[in-house]
Each structure stands twice: as structure tokens, then as C-alpha cells.
Structure 1
Amino acid sequence: MTDTNLPLIDMTGVHEGDPASIQRVGDAIRKACSETGFFYIVNHGVPQAVIDRAMAAAKTFFAYPAEVKRQVAVNKRHRGWHALGGALMYEATKPDHKEFFSIGLELPEDDPCVLAGEALRGPNQWPEFMPELRGALDDYYAHIGVAGADLLKAVAAGLGIDQDFFVGKYSKRLQRTQMVYYPPHPPMAEADQFGVAPHTDYGCITLLYQDDSGGLQVRELGSNNWIDATPITGSLVVNVGDLLAHWSNNRFRSTLHRVINKSGHERYSIATFYDPTYSAVVDPCDLGIDPASSLFPPVAAGDYILKRIDDSMAYRKKG
């Protein structure tokens, strides 16, 4: 495996709306996303205290016995605790060696989207046995959502479109944030056992905070070598998902990645899939691509994401 550094991009000035900063970051994102589809960001605006509180909450939550965590077992809205072995990536031969707890945009049962039966919508599941989890994750969810919105302004600049193009597509975002726990990799594990098997993400952009354990690897587009996404203090790892690859007509690439936790101890991360409103139409032609050159037909963002979740999550295949 080749040890190659991924690009590191400084977000300074983007949140403040400085046009020159947004274009600078957009140019750097365009280069990164046409070469690897992965990069780090720093000065992203998420306070370290907010991150530390969420990470501490993750360690506390996952330390509870399975029979306790099962009180908030994943429901049809893809909210709650996913037990070890519950996720099987496409083309993988073994389930992922991980647990995770997932939340989304908090919507009441009488919200119009919930009443209309829109998939993946509704209230979150919060554990009574750990009341402090809600405050820690809600705070992280809000801050990382702002970072995602800032990032998409730069993504738009990098694509040469209006910097506010994505704003209207995120009026009721399908943002999913997950605390993820990876036990130590089994010492006698077979070669096809992963913390997360090789896959591409489903949506637009993913923002990941990882601890210092290492284990995230990215497959370089040019060489097909696996390279380490080595943890960098204070950074978030960002990658392009399939929907943004489709929207950009593959100008921005969705890249295979995997996790193998060989640190010898537990690994924790918080992944946020910052995705559009369920009904937002993803169409390369809206980004200036001629219909004759479009590689992908229009698709509703939520329909695409739901299908990918249905294909990879064991709990959605029961019954």
C-alpha cells in the first residue's frame, strides 16, 4: 500500500462569505475531487469542544451492553442503534465489523413530510438510559450542518455555477449523522473482513471526524492503490458521494474507501452524510451539462439514498 497524503484545504473566510475565499477553496476542491474524491478541511467552524463532547458521548453510549442499547434499536426511519453485523456493503462477503447510532433532521409526527409518509423522516430515537446523548449529538448535528452548507458553496464555485445553487436543494435536508464504533480488528480475521468494506457513499458529501486510531483507507483513482487517510488534528475528512458525482456528471468523483481497525483498540468516528431535501432532483443538466452529454438520468435524492440503504442494511430485509 502506498502512503500518500490527501489534500488539506483551509476553509478560512468561507463561512464569512468572502467571495475570494470561496473561490480559492472551490478551486482546491475541484482539483481534489477530480483526482481523489477525498480531502481534509481545517478551520471548518465546528468548535473542538462540540466535537469532544460528541465523541465522549459516543464512547459512553457504545460501552453499554447490547441488551441496553437494544432499547433504541434501529427503526424503519433508519434512526437508532445498529448492532454489530447489521450492515453488508454491496459486493462484500461479510458484514461490517462495526456498530453505529444514527440520527437525522428532528421532525415531529405532524410534520407535513412525515404525514405524507416520506421515507427516513420523523423524530429521532433518544435513549432514556443516557439522557445526555441528545444534547451532545444535537449540538454536533447543528454545527456540522453549517459546515456542510459552507462547503457546498465552495463546491458550487469549483463547479463554476452560482455559489448558492445548492441552498434551495437543502430546504429540508436529509442530513444523517452517525456515531460509529469499531471494535479492534479480529487478529485472525480473513482478508475479506473489514470494519467497513470497500464502498462509495450514497449522497452528496460526507464530513467525517475520526479519532487518532487510523484505519480509514481510500483507493486512488489513478493508481488503484489503497492509501491511508491519516488522522490530522482538528480536521474533518470530506469525500464526494454518488449523488454529487452524478450531479457533476463525474467531474467530481465518488471514490471507494474502507476501514480496517488494526490499532489494537476501539476506534470511534462521527460521520455526517450531508444530503439534499428528499424530493430534490439531481440532474447534471442543471449544472450546465448538455443533455446529449449527460451520463446520468434525473433522480430524486431521497429515492436514490433510500434504495442504497435498503440494499445494504440487514434490518431492512427482514420480513
Structure 2
Amino acid sequence: MLAQQLLSGCSRPRHILRHLRCTARWKHTTLAEDVRSDATFRIPLIDFSAFRIASSFSEKRRIADDIVNGFKEVGFVYLTGHGIQPKTIENVYTKSAEFFKLPESVKDQVAWDDPRANRGYVKVGRERVTQSSDAVEIAALREKAPDTKESMEIGRDWDPVWKNKWLKESDVPGFKNTMLRFFQTCHELHMVIMRSIALGLDLQEDFFDNKIDQQYHNLRLLSYPPIHTKLLSQAGQARAGTHSDYGTLTLLFQDSVGGLEVENPHTKHFQPAPPIPGTVVVNAGDLLARWSNDTFRSTLHRVVAPAARKISETGGMTPHRQSIAFFCNPNFDAVIESLPTCVNASNPSKYPPVTTEQYIVGRLAATYN
């Protein structure tokens, strides 16, 4: 139904039509075959309601297999039928926009200051996401080409040590309650997706439940301000640089502007991941890839500038973009070691055990200044 709705309008952007033309080939080719060519590359579109409300184990297993196959071959999936109401997402966007419109001096009152907490406001240019783990190299990248975005980071609000940073209620009325409700909503979706992954990996459906129930997640509100195209044309510059995510899953809610690109794991070329109304983009992160002994891909991705509005004979201005990312993490004391169904005599474990906290905090400490 979604594909039919999108295809019914002749004014749809070409990249969306291209994506949907690829979906029409699903009956004739496999995902593994399609992703080996840039011309047929696709991110699978999965109706997750069939898992959430399934009346039989076989139906749940069918969807679980589709999700696991998507993470094996691409590292990304689109989910419809995820259960989060459009009005809920729209309200989060509204409150996020109200926050970012505040004066810099007000937002700086809740500035991000500690990778262990990972909470607060991050101004434009302070973050430089990258695959590098070298502090000197990251500092040089940040100086030369910082990410052209600002963000607000929110964690679990009841943490006994690390507290969220909230402005006064009068600054953005309803902001705190809106974000905390959405945090819980995303956590619940994450739990169900992880149950589907467990089934797809031949584990008990509740295998991950007690390893991800403490909600050590990060809700990130993102604002990409308009920027002159000449600034984005400089070497190494991007709205958000090439990177993979750190945790288990990322739930990404895109606005209509677009700009997300995903690396084809086979050709190493970046392909658009256009916004599809009503969907959540879900990708596997580094810890889930490590947990699965690289059965899953933690795929590189980036955010580039969409088509710009011409403002002179020599340049243009990109539109403002909003997105909402929910970074799902295991419990911080969870030991991440290869899952029993992902190792055997011919495929031994590739990684030593590590706790979530050791991995996440180390990556965050190198990312920010």
C-alpha cells in the first residue's frame, strides 16, 4: 500500500521512485543479488506489524528472517508498521525545532560536557563523526571540516549519576515531557526489534531482554542549519561525516529533506537512503556487529547536502534539515561477546569480550572536543 501511494504521484523525487522500482523486483531477485550492484542496490522495506501482532510463530519467524537478512546484507532496513503514531513523531519535531531556534546563549546553558554522561547541547562544529580512533587525526578533521549540524542529547532521566540537562520549562513548554515519553516509546520498539533479531539468529526470543532493559540509550535531536554550498564543497566537508554507529541499533526518523547516504558494502559507493513517509530507518551498530561476530554489518553512512536553492550566479543555499535518532545500547555492564549461534569451529570469535560502557565511552571521548 505504501509503495502504491508513493508511486501514484508523478512528482515524486527520482531517488524515491528508484528505490520503489527496486522493490518491484523482490519476487525475482534476492537482496544478496541486488546489493552487489549500485544499479539495483536497495534497503529492504519490511512491514513490522506482521511481527508485532503475529498470530503464529511461523509468521513472526518470517519477519525475523527478513530483518536478519537485511542486517546481514545491507546493515539497514526500513520499517513500516512500527507502531509509533505520526502525531507523536510530528510533536517531537515541533518541540525539537523550538529548542534549536533558541538563542545560542540559552542553549549553551545545557552544553554537553562529559562523554560518560553524553547529555546536553552540542553546537555546530563541536562534533566530528569519523571512523578514526586517533585523537590527533580527529582533532585535525574537526578543525578542517567539522560536522555542520547541532544536536541535543538526552539519556535516561532517572540515572543516579548522569543527569539530563534541561532548560527551564518556560523556554520550550512541554519539551521535557515530550522527549521523555518519546524516549520510552523508542525503547519499547527497540526491545521488540531485538526480539525479532533473536528469533532470526536461532536464539530464544527473550535472549536479549535482560541485557538491554536498563535503557542506556541516547535520544539525539538533530538540526542541520542552512549552509552555503561553497562551504560544503571544501575537501572533507559534510553535514555529518562518514561513520558507523556505536551501539546495537539506531532508529532514525527523517524529515522530507533527505541527505542520508548508505555505503554499498560491496562496491563501496554511497547510495541515497531517501525518506519514505511512515517508515523508520533502522541500522545495526558496531556493538551488534561485534555481538554477532560480524554476521551483521555496521554499515558506513553519512549525511550530505540535498539540492540547494540558488542565491547567486556562483552559489546556493541548502535547506534546513531535521532528524531524530535514537541510539540503542545494551546495559552498560553487559558483556558483549560473540553470540553462541554466530560462532563455530570454522568461524571462531573475532573479538575479545568488552562491556558496553568501555566501548561506548571510549568512542565518544574521541569524537568531541
Q: Same fold (TM over 0.5)?
A: yes
Structure 1 residues 239-250: aligned runs within 5 Å: 239-250=283-294
Would you say the 8 A contact 2:157–2:180 is kept in 1?
no
Report what 1:38 is aligned to: 76
Instruction: Report the secondary structure of 1:293's partner residue.
Output: coil
What is the one-letter code of the residue matched to 2:164? Answer: N
Report what 2:238 is aligned to: 194
Would you say the 8 A contact 1:103–1:176 is kept in 2?
yes
Is residue 177 from structure 1 mapped to residue 219 from structure 2 by the alignment? yes
Separation in 1, partners of 2:267, 2:251: 24
> Please, which of 28, 31, 42 is the counterpart of residue 5 of structure 1?
42
Higher radius of gyration, 1 or 2: 2
Separation in 2, partners of 1:24, 1:222: 26
What is the one-letter code of the residue matched to 1:182? Answer: Y
Structure 1 residues 135-214: aligned runs within 5 Å: 135-189=177-231, 190-214=234-258
TM-fit CA distance, 1:15 = 2.8
> Please, which of 248, 268, 271 is the counterpart of residue 322 of structure 2?
268
Alignment RMSD: 1.8
Is residue 130 from structure 1 mapped to residue 172 from structure 2 by the alignment? yes
Instruction: Report the secondary structure of 1:23's partner residue.
Output: helix
Would you say the 8 A contact 1:240–1:253 is kept in 2?
yes
Separation in 1, partners of 2:45, 2:287: 23
What is the one-letter code of the residue matched to 1:171? Answer: D
Report what 2:66 is aligned to: 28
Instruction: Report the secondary structure of 2:164's partner residue.
Output: coil
Separation in 1, partners of 2:54, 2:326: 23
What is the one-letter code of the residue matched to 1:35? Answer: E
Report what 1:95 is aligned to: 146
Instruction: Report the secondary structure of 1:262's partner residue.
Output: coil
Structure 1 residues 225-240: aligned runs within 5 Å: 225-240=269-284
Percent identical pairs in the alignment equals 32
Aligned residue-pair number: 303
Report what 1:308 is aligned to: 363
Deviation string 1:219-273 (CA, Å, 9 cap, x unpaired) is 0111111100000001000111000000101110100000012242110000001
Would you say the 8 A contact 1:55–1:268 is kept in 2?
yes
Q: Mind listing any 5+ residue stretches in structure 1 that lack a counterpart? A: 115-121, 315-319
Report what 2:354 is aligned to: 299
Separation in 2, partners of 1:127, 1:23: 45
TM-fit CA distance, 1:286 = 4.0
Instruction: Report the secondary structure of 1:100's partner residue.
Output: strand
Instruction: Report the secondary structure of 1:46's partner residue.
Output: coil
Separation in 1, partners of 2:153, 2:331: 18
Would you say the 8 A contact 1:203–1:305 is kept in 2?
yes
TM-fit CA distance, 1:209 = 0.1
> Please, which of 74, 80, 83 is the counterpart of residue 123 of structure 2?
83
Q: Mind listing any 5+ residue stretches in structure 2 that lack a counterpart? A: 1-14, 16-37, 133-137, 308-317
Separation in 2, partners of 1:75, 1:246: 28
What is the one-letter code of the residue matched to 2:274? Answer: T
TM score, norm. by length of structure 1: 0.90
Instruction: Report the secondary structure of 1:284's partner residue.
Output: coil
Deviation string 1:133-183 (CA, Å, 9 cap, x unpaired) is 112111211111111111111111221211111101013121111100112
Would you say the 8 A contact 1:5–1:228 is kept in 2?
no
User: Using CA pairs below 8 Å that are at least 6 residues apart, which structure has the higher relative contact order?
Assistant: 1
Instruction: Report the secondary structure of 2:230's partner residue.
Output: coil
Instruction: Report the secondary structure of 2:51's partner residue.
Output: coil
Separation in 2, partners of 1:20, 1:288: 22
TM score, norm. by length of structure 2: 0.78
Separation in 2, partners of 1:276, 1:86: 26
Would you say the 8 A contact 1:86–1:95 is kept in 2?
yes
